[in-house]
């Protein structure tokens, strides 16, 4: 029998912690499915594009990078459509259905007979991504209570960053040892485990019966929403221009063997993302705008450092760590910004953050693969990344300047809490 709709005041502290961990476990599984392709890119290219691999390894790796773009495009399409159309559904029920979709699509990707079908299934697997994080953030905000909105978002996304420390390197090792298909089956098992954890731990929360698809889509009428989407999608593309091709950067630029160095560099990046996410959550509760601007500047500096010193193994590790820290500080703050500018459309705003970042994922992966395919080498995506991040910084600064001059949106140093949008 479902739990009554419950805020944090009706649950024991142990139950709240259990529920939050279950929600973060979903982030762990999503981070694993999203990022494991980066470490296994050469293996997938060799297995699924044997003819192209035999002719040119760089071209094969660049083509294999399309699976990253396919997943990201699935997020871009699925996040707003699912979040807007399902706003009335009970949140726990919606989360469980999203996890079923993740599990089925991931198994299908693991069993793909050819590269074309793999692209299709990776696209389908991306569809529930943004809706999961959006709804999970709303649930976490209700559980954590007033005054902790950005930290609630950051906690759910902590699962994603921990995936980059533990999940992605471990599953990369599994894929390199037993094949990339086994790696994806392992990811599917994580989604099934998350389904059980949320079914047991997360309290029943109703949707918003007054919310309509049209009302959610009304968020797009606000110009500042488009600025927020632009700063997330273009600016965050800088990170993915590097991260998508980190495996060949390690093996072909730093001249390190694939084992154990590719998994290790993923661990280092994941540790950076973990601390950056936590720092961004706390700094964002103080000032969203300053955190966004500072994080974009830090990403550019870290990317430049990585590009200049990638041939030196120790400095490559330092650079990747710094990129992880700076880029992950952007995540919870841009999501909070979207919540501020979307007004009453909270469900779609919470999900659109992941549409924006995965558009950046797709853009960074595509442009990075393009310059590699043109023969500019594996450092070239880093310079593309700096350009994308700079554009994100310009969009953010323009947005804040316009807001300051027009006075249309009151500056929020401590924004309204997510629980104000959560029906009781």
Tens digit of each residue's pLDDT (9 = 90 or more) over 299-348: 999 999 999 998 999 999 999 999 999 988 887 788 778 777 776 666 67
- Is residue 195 within 8 A of residue 103, CB to CB? The reply is yes
Query: Distance (Å, rounded) from C-alpha 127 to C-alpha 294?
Result: 31
Residue 223, judged by CB atoms within 10 A of its CB (0-12, 13-18, 19+), counts as middle
pLDDT digits (tens, 9 = 90+) for 204-220: 877 666 666 666 666 67
Work out the percent of the chain whose per-residue pLDDT is above 90: 29
Instruction: Give the three-state DSSP class for 6.
Output: coil
Q: Is the dihedral of CA 320, 322, 325, 327 positive or negative?
A: negative
Q: Report the distance separating Cα 157 and Cα 161, nearest Å.
A: 7
7: left (phi over 0), alpha (psi -120 to 50) or beta: beta
Q: Is the pLDDT of residue 415 over 50?
A: no
Which is more confidently placed, 292 or 41? Answer: 292
DSSP state of 221: G
DSSP string across 356-424: HHHHHHHHHHHHHHHHHHTT--TTHHHHHHHHHHHHHHHHHHHHHHHHHHH--S---SSPPPGGGTS--
d(CA 41, CA 57): 11
pTM of the prediction? 0.72
Domains and CATH numbers, the chain: 8-413 (1.20.1250.20)
What is the tens place of the pLDDT at every residue in 123-134?
Answer: 999 999 988 988
């Amino acid at each position: 029998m479902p739990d009554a709709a419950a805020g944090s005041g009706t649950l024991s502290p142990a139950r709240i912690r259990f529920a939050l961990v279950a929600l973060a476990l979903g982030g762990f599984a999503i981070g694993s499915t999203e990022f494991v392709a980066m470490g296994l890119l050469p293996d997938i290219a060799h297995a699924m594009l044997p003819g192209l691999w035999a002719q040119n390894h760089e071209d094969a790796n660049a083509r294999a990078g399309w699976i990253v773009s396919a997943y990201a495009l699935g997020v871009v399409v699925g996040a707003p459509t699912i979040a807007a159309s399902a706003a009335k559904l009970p949140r726990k029920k919606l989360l469980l259905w999203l996890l079923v979709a993740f599990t089925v699509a991931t198994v299908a990707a693991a069993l793909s007979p050819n590269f074309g079908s793999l692209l299709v299934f990776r696209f389908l697997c991306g569809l529930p991504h943004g809706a999961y994080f959006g709804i999970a953030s709303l649930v976490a905000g209700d559980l954590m209570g007033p005054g902790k909105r950005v930290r609630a978002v950051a906690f759910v996304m902590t699962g994603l960053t921990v995936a980059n420390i533990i999940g992605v390197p471990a599953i990369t090792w599994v894929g390199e040892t037993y094949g990339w298909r086994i790696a994806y089956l392992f990811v599917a098992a994580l989604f099934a485990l998350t389904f059980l954890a949320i079914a047991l731990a997360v309290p029943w929360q109703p949707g918003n019966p007054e919310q309509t698809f049209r009302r959610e889509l009304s968020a797009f009428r606000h110009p500042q929403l488009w600025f927020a989407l632009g700063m997330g999608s273009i600016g965050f593309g800088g990170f993915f221009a590097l991260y998508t091709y980190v495996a060949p950067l390690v093996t072909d630029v730093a001249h390190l063997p694939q084992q154990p160095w590719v998994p290790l560099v993923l661990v280092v990046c994941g540790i950076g993302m973990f601390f950056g996410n936590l720092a961004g959550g706390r700094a964002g509760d103080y000032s969203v705008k300053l955190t966004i601007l500072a994080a974009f500047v830090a990403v550019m500096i870290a990317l430049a450092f990585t590009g200049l010193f990638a041939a030196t193994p120790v400095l490559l590790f330092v650079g990747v760590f710094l990129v992880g820290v700076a880029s992950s500080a952007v995540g919870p703050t841009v999501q909070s910004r979207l919540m501020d500018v979307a007004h009453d459309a909270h469900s779609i705003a919470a999900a659109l953050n992941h549409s924006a970042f995965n558009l950046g994922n797709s853009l960074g992966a595509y442009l990075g693969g393009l310059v590699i395919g043109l023969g500019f080498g594996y450092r070239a995506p880093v310079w593309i990344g700096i350009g994308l991040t700079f554009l994100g910084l310009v969009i953010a600064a323009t947005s804040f300047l316009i807001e300051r001059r027009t006075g249309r949106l009151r500056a929020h140093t401590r924004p309204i809490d997510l629980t104000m949008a959560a029906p009781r």
